[in-house]
Amino acid sequence: MLATLLIVLGLLALLMLWGVFIYNSLVQLKHNVSQAWSNIDVLMKQRHDELPKLVETCRQYKEFEQATLENVTRARGQVKEALDSRNIPALGIAETALRAGLGQLFAVVEAYPDLKANEPFMALIRRVMELEDAIADRREFYNESVNINNVRVEQFPDNIVAGMYHFGKAPFLRFANDETKDVDFKALFGG
């Protein structure tokens, strides 16, 4: 009788340790997703602070295309709104619009040799491009963290502990189709 009781208690202790291990690893994954999101947030806020300087420098050139500046400014506001509300699907759409606006801005700059020769402007362009690269890296890390979290939350036996303690799936950061479709080289080269 005592041996049976010890075996049952031993099995219960192992089951409890297993539950604690699963719980702690799910907590770690949840915090990895949060950290990855925070990294994106910091970089986007830095870019958010740099873009008005870039737009204002462009505005100083009288003929500079106003529509391009308005597109960048509007998209910047949409990105900030999505970030503030932690609306990840809206962020993907807003990011696509902002990247398109920046692409237009960089293309229009080519028509202004004086602007390209302006050292402060070129420093701003380099800074924004560095931030864009860093944001792309952080977006990839975020989606990787989300994937690991989501797999573990659905995998047996982790899904038992995840369900008991309300661990959930996290949303992926997705982008509009324009940003993920194949490049039309014919259109790029005017053919």
Q: Is residue 19 included in any domain, yes or no? A: no
In this prediction, residue 61 carries a pLDDT of 66
Residue 143 lies inside a defined structural domain of this protein? no
Single pTM value for the model: 0.69
- Amino acid 188: pLDDT: 40
Residue 173 belongs to a domain: no
Report yes or no on 12 lying in a domain.
no
- Do residues 21 and 158 lie in contact, with contact meaning Cβ atoms separated by under 8 Å? no
Contacts of 105 (CB under 8 A, 6+ apart): 54, 58, 68, 69, 72
**Percent of the chain residues past pLDDT 70, beyond the cut:** 88
- In a domain? residue 66: yes
What's the pLDDT score for residue 28? 95
Q: Which residues in the chain come in under a pLDDT of 50? A: 179-191
Structural contact between residues 127 and 50, judged by C-beta atoms closer than 8 angstroms: yes
CA 117 to chain centre: 33
Q: Supply the range of the domain harboring residue 65.
A: 34-137
- Asked if residue 94 belongs to a domain, the reply is yes
> The CATH number of the domain where 79 resides is what?
1.20.1440.20
Q: Please check whether residue 64 is in contact with residue 112, taking contact to mean a CB–CB distance below 8 angstroms.
A: yes
Q: What is the pLDDT of residue 23?
A: 94
> Contact at 8 Å (CB) between 57 and 121?
yes
Q: Residues 43, 91: contact at Cβ < 8 Å?
A: no
Q: Tell me how crowded residue 141 is: count the other CB atoms within 10 A of its CB.
A: 16
Extract the tokens encoding 174.
């997705």
CA-based radius of gyration for the chain: 24
Q: DSSP E strands: which ranges in the chain?
A: none
Could you tell me if residue 47 is inside a domain?
yes
Q: What is the pLDDT of residue 63?
A: 62
HEC string for 123-141: HHHHHHHHHHHHHHHHHHH
Domain count, the chain: 1
Given a contact cutoff of 8 angstroms between Cβ atoms, the answer to whether 131 and 50 are in contact is: yes
Q: Which pLDDT value is given to residue 16?
A: 92
Q: What is the pLDDT of residue 136?
A: 87
In a domain, 119, yes or no: yes
Cα distance between residue 160 and residue 66, in whole Å? 56
Question: For residues 58 and 141, is the Cβ–Cβ distance under 8 A?
Answer: no
